[in-house]
DNA sequence: ATCGGGCGGTTTTTT
DNA sequence: ACCGCCCGAT
């Protein structure tokens, strides 16, 4: 299979021109007169770009010009003669970040002529290193990389082999546990005894078994890639020294997202020279749930004594009000490194806050607002400026009679002189000023969870508003793509048993469980691959009937494909251990710029001859056409590569949506996906307790979880450049059930002075900010504060709104049967109390342990819950639904 | 061997 | 409400 230099060959194409130049221009940088690239940096940026030696932590807030600074720093490293580009290790978290940095570097006024060969993700760099020293980890250098899907399937096998009921102990859960261990750089023998109880007391045993299985398949999962490198470095100090000397300077982006394994990886490499520059923002750490340790960044100065810390705080992205709102929220978090964003620009628009009746209306309002903004107005400003129109006059009359909220036929809320009543808008602002007209692709809707997306898609389809969903099912994760890839994998390495299993009966070849068992048995008896087992099973007559004939054809096909591949790539014979940078350069230089496309034709043949294409052509379901399209796209993507091996390696580490259309569309994506992006107009819907902050985060991680949610809120707001609109709904369908929602506690945390409330009175009674102090637990009783908000939904304004809703079933919001308990009010419960939990329903308190309760739920069994997230319930008979 | 109905699970996402 | 998975019926 492919080796570590092949992605270089791919990336190499883009740098081919500078490549040939590099042989002459050893200085590595051209176009830089002295240090001109430092000129347009602000003082902090400049300091960070010039502090080249020793450990440096660059705390770069959102929109503070981090990448620009990094570019200058890299140029500086090279120009000052401290390092050649290939002696700089630049690590990013995602491929996207690596690609962007590479492109950005290419666009600089100066040019680093040699490529930064060691710029990439933790994983891709690890693979590079690991392919050279695979045998030290018990692998061959052509090991395959399993993705999550393979991983789960393998784990299922391990669980079944251990005679465990896979129903009660699902593979996904085991995968989560093992991933967690790998993230913390724990090998099976290192797992602390305190965690021995994991997975029915057999976690470590299964972990060991899984690792054995992987090794016998010559495969590694994502976690292994990092873990093995760490293990090798620890076990072979001489080798580590080599790499320490090779990477004279280390740059790390998004340091707040690193997990323990990545931290150790970096620390090992940086140990000698300590020339490590970590860039990050503790306030944007939002991946704790998958093992990221904010602690890494908080601890930096202890890890690297004498480290410099430079803060980039001048923000070039957002207006003053937006920054102030974001800062106000994040200030509620404890244990920050501390950073205050400021801007030299103006205050701009206030952050706008609006409540709606339910999720559908929220989507409806945002859709209309998006349309209005295109014309440079706002739905609300619009209505007002149209005060002469008939409906508006009627409404004005109604308002004059004391009605404060009305609704037009479309169900829109018309807002009266709310602003003046609430004194939240500068006096005399008779209109809501909208800075300018915005294009749809300047707008984004950022949601907490993908389940929220559908309401918007539904609505936008109805009104014909073009939208784009980012982060849907990834191209390379689609079934048809994975099937096709399995064919390619098997053709490249006929011993790839996982690939064999996946496609031996796809399309249907009459090979069911029975036949596949025979193949497995035969292969195991001969200690050989499934393909060989199949060959023998057919030849020896162990397998008969029409399945056998099909299987024979299948085996023959694979043989033929494999031969074709072997014939086309003599390079496979080269020993990867010989590779070093110089050799790679020669290789890249000799790559013909115009590939002949033999491997593309072969891929087409494979898909044809296997009957896979025919399978979808015969499929009458509506998705079939799309799947065929995707397969075409896959084949097309192959053209970018030299051979199938290189392609497979690339895909193993990368997943991206390949089709990127250009037309004007509003973007819908999750807050997580939005990190690092910016939009002039941002909508942040669904700010409701339980949804955002997410109930589950809080249940699972308590205060820590809440703080991560808060950082997510911070990330969301700081995506906005000019206009940021937060919204919430009073009712929402969750898992098919209608639930009444309470506005997010984060809304209370927004600084009043930076927020403009567009919500009709009554929808948010008690006045904005009435509940301030909740969550900070400094103020008075949160119980009261929350109760006040719950009452909002029984207020006259709310009722009226409800009556007028007309076109929908009016489901009376459930009355609060319970009082919400303060996060810290543990003593509020006794053993035996009846409690309610948003997700698990009703139950009785069994045990109290610090701030955690053990609750026996009626339906969900016994769970440990943080006390703040259950509420006292009236009595056992009082069960709703 | 293959199709369909019932059942449980259900965030966020990368590599 | 929806999706994927497993088992029972064809």
Contact call for residues A146 and A154 (beta carbons, < 8 A): yes
The CA-to-CA distance between both ends of chain A, in Å, stands at 58
Using a 10 angstrom Cβ sphere, with 0-12 exposed, 13-18 middle and 19 or more buried, the burial of residue A708 is: buried
Residues A354 and A324 in one domain: yes
Q: DSSP assignment, residue A752?
A: G
Residues A285 and A271 in one domain: yes
Strand-pair category, A413-415 with A720-734: unpaired
What are the φ and ψ backbone dihedral angles of A800, each rounded to 5 degrees?
Answer: -60, -45
Residues A238 and A264 in one domain: yes
- For residue A514, the enclosing domain spans 510-569+598-654
Asked if residue A420 keeps its beta carbon closer than 7 A to nucleic acid strand B, the reply is: no
> Alpha helices, DSSP H only, in A401-472?
418-422, 453-463
Give pLDDT, residue A477.
80
Q: What is the dihedral of CA A774, A777, A783, A786, to 10 degrees?
A: 10
Measured distance CA(A103)–CA(A19) in Å, rounded: 16
Asked if residue A733 keeps its beta carbon closer than 7 A to nucleic acid strand C, the reply is: yes
Which residues 334-363 of A interface with strand C at a CB distance below 7 A? none
CA of A567 to C1' of B15 (A): 32
CA of A449 to C1' of B6 (A): 28
Report the CATH number that the domain containing residue A561 is assigned in CATH: 1.10.486.10
Give pLDDT, residue A868.
53
Tell whether residue A544 is among the known ligand binding residues: no
Work out the average pLDDT over A739-760: 90
Residues A267 and A183 in one domain: no
Per the prediction, chain A carries an average pLDDT of 77
pLDDT (tens digit, 9 = 90+) per residue, A845-861? 777 765 566 777 665 56
Contact call for residues A449 and A456 (beta carbons, < 8 A): no
Q: Is A803 contained in some domain?
A: no
Report the CATH number that the domain containing residue A191 is assigned in CATH: 1.10.10.160
Single out the residue in A176, A200, A217 at which a domain terminates: A217
Q: Provide the residue count of chain A.
A: 881
Identify the three-state secondary structure at position A503. helix
Residue A187's region, left for phi above 0, alpha for psi from -120 to 50, else beta, is beta
Residues A131 and A279 in one domain: yes
Closest protein CA to C1' of nucleotide B11, residue: A449
As for how many domains chain A has, the answer is 6
Give the active site residues of A: 66-67, 253-254, 284, 719
Measured distance CA(A211)–CA(A227) in Å, rounded: 12
DSSP string, A26-56: TT-EES--TTGGGTTS-HHHHHHHH--SS-E
Residues A743 and A680 in one domain: yes
Residues A841 and A758 in one domain: no
Work out the average pLDDT over A402-431: 31
Q: Is A334 contained in some domain?
A: yes
Q: Is A213 contained in some domain?
A: yes
Q: Is A500 contained in some domain?
A: no
Asked if residue A512 keeps its beta carbon closer than 7 A to nucleic acid strand B, the reply is: yes
Q: Is A473 contained in some domain?
A: no
What are the φ and ψ backbone dihedral angles of A435, each rounded to 5 degrees?
Answer: -55, -40
Q: Is A405 contained in some domain?
A: no
Report the CATH number that the domain containing residue A683 is assigned in CATH: 3.40.50.300
Single out the residue in A258, A277, A312 at which a domain terminates: A312
**pLDDT over 50 (residue A421):** no
User: A379-393, A448-462, A734-748: which has the minimum mean pLDDT?
Assistant: A379-393
Specify the DSSP element, H or E, that contains A367.
helix A359-374
Using a 10 angstrom Cβ sphere, with 0-12 exposed, 13-18 middle and 19 or more buried, the burial of residue A473 is: exposed
Residues A167 and A212 in one domain: yes
Residues A692 and A761 in one domain: yes
Residues 6+ apart with CB under 8 A from A760: A355, A404, A405, A413, A415, A416, A418, A797, A801
Q: Is A158 contained in some domain?
A: yes
Residues A335 and A450 in one domain: yes
Residues 6+ apart with CB under 8 A from A402: none
pLDDT (tens digit, 9 = 90+) per residue, A541-553? 888 777 888 899 9
Tell whether residue A272 is among the known ligand binding residues: no
Q: Is A749 contained in some domain?
A: yes
Measured distance CA(A234)–CA(A232) in Å, rounded: 5
pLDDT (tens digit, 9 = 90+) per residue, A9-40? 333 333 322 333 333 344 455 554 556 777 78
Residues A745 and A729 in one domain: yes
In A515-646 the beta strands, taken as DSSP E runs, fall at: none
- CB atoms closer than 10 angstroms to residue A685: 27
Using the CA of A471, which nucleotide's C1' is the nearest one? B13
**pLDDT over 80 (residue A494):** yes
Contact call for residues A121 and A653 (beta carbons, < 8 A): yes
Residues A648 and A747 in one domain: no
pLDDT (tens digit, 9 = 90+) per residue, A135-180? 999 999 989 998 888 888 888 888 888 888 888 888 888 899 999 9
């Amino acid at each position: 299979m492919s080796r570590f230099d092949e992605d270089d060959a791919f990336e190499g194409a883009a740098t081919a021109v500078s490549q040939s130049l590099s042989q002459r221009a050893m200085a590595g940088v051209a176009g830089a007169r002295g240090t001109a690239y430092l000129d347009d940096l602000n003082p902090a940026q400049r300091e960070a770009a010039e502090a080249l030696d020793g450990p440096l932590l660059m705390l770069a807030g959102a929109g503070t010009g981090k990448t620009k600074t990094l570019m200058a720093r890299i140029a500086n490293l090279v120009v000052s003669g401290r390092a050649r580009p290939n002696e700089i290790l630049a690590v990013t978290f995602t491929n996207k970040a690596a690609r962007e940095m590479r492109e950005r570097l290419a666009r600089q006024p100066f040019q680093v002529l040699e490529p930064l060969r060691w710029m990439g993700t933790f994983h891709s760099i690890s693979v590079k290193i690991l392919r050279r020293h695979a045998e030290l980890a018990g692998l061959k250098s052509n090991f395959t990389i399993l993705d999550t899907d393979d991983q789960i399937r393998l784990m299922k096998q391990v669980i079944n082999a251990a005679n465990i009921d896979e129903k009660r102990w699902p593979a996904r859960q085991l995968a989560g546990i093992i991933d967690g261990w790998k993230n913390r750089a724990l090998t099976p023998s290192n797992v602390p005894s305190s965690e021995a109880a994991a997975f029915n007391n057999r976690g470590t045993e299964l972990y060991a078994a899984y690792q054995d299985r992987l090794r016998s398949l010559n495969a590694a999962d994502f976690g292994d890639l990092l873990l093995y490198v760490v293990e090798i470095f620890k076990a072979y100090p001489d080798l580590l020294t080599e790499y320490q000397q090779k990477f004279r300077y280390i740059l790390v982006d998004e340091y707040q997202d690193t997990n323990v394994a990545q931290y150790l990886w970096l620390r090992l490499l940086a140990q000698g020279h300590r020339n490590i520059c970590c860039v990050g923002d503790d306030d944007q750490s939002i991946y704790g749930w998958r093992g990221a340790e904010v602690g890494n960044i908080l601890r930096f100065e202890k890890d690297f004594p004498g480290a410099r810390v430079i803060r980039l705080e001048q923000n070039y992205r957002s207006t003053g009000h937006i920054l102030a709102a974001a800062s106000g929220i994040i200030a509620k978090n404890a244990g920050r490194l501390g950073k205050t964003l400021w801007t030299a620009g103006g205050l701009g628009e206030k952050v706008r806050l609006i409540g709606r009746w339910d999720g559908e209306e929220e989507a409806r309002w945002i859709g209309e607002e998006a349309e209005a903004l295109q014309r440079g107005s706002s739905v609300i400003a619009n209505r007002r400026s149209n005060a002469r129109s008939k409906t508006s006059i009627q409404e004005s009359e109604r308002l004059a009679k004391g009605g404060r909220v009305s609704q037009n036929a479309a169900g829109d809320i018309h807002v009266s002189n709310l602003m003046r009543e609430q004194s939240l808008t500068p006096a005399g602002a008779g209109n809501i000023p909208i800075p300018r007209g915005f294009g749809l692709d300047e707008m984004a809707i950022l949601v907490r969870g993908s389940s929220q997306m559908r309401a918007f898609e539904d609505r936008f389809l109805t009104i014909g508003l073009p939208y784009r969903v980012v982060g849907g099912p990834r191209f390379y994760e689609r079934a048809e793509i994975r099937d096709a890839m399995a064919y390619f994998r098997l053709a490249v390495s006929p011993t790839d048993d996982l690939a064999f299993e996946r496609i031996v009966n796809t399309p249907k070849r009459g090979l069911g469980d029975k036949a596949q068992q025979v193949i497995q048995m035969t292969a195991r008896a001969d200690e050989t691959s499934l393909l060989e087992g199949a060959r023998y099973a057919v030849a020896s007559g162990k397998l008969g009937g029409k399945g056998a004939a099909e299987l024979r054809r299948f085996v023959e096909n694979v043989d033929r494909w494999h031969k074709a591949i072997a014939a086309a790539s003599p390079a496979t014979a080269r020993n990867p251990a010989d590779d070093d940078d110089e050799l790679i350069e020669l290789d890249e230089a000799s790559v013909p710029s115009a590939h002949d496309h033999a491997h593309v034709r072969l891929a087409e043949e494979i898909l044809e001859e296997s009957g896979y294409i025919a399978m979808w052509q015969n499929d009458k379901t509506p998705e079939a056409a799309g799947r065929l399209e995707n397969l075409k796209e896959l084949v097309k993507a192959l053209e970018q590569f030299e051979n199938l091996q290189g392609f497979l390696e690339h895909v193993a580490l990368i997943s991206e949506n390949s089709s990127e259309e250009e037309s004007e569309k509003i973007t819908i994506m999750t807050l997580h996906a939005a990190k690092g992006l910016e939009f002039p107009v941002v909508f942040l819907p669904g700010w409701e307790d339980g949804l955002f902050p997410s109930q589950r985060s809080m249940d699972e991680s308590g205060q820590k979880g809440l703080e991560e949610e808060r950082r997510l809120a911070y990330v969301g707001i700081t995506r906005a450049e000019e206009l940021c609109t937060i919204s919430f709904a009073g009712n929402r369908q969750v898992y098919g059930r209608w639930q009444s929602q309470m506005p997010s506690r984060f809304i209370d945390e927004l600084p009043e002075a930076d927020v403009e409330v567009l919500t009709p009175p009554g929808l948010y009674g008690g006045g904005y900010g009435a509940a301030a102090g909740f969550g900070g637990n400094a103020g008075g009783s949160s119980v009261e504060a929350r109760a006040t908000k719950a009452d909002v939904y029984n207020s006259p304004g709310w009722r009226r709104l409800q009556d007028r809703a007309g076109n929908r079933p009016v489901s009376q919001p459930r009355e609060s049967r319970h009082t919400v308990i303060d996060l810290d009010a543990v003593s509020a419960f006794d053993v035996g109390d009846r409690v309610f939990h948003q997700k698990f329903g009703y139950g009785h308190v069994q045990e109290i342990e610090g701030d955690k309760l053990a609750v026996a739920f009626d339906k969900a069994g016994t769970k440990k819950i943080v006390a703040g997230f259950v509420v006292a319930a009236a009595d056992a008979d009082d069960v709703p639904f």
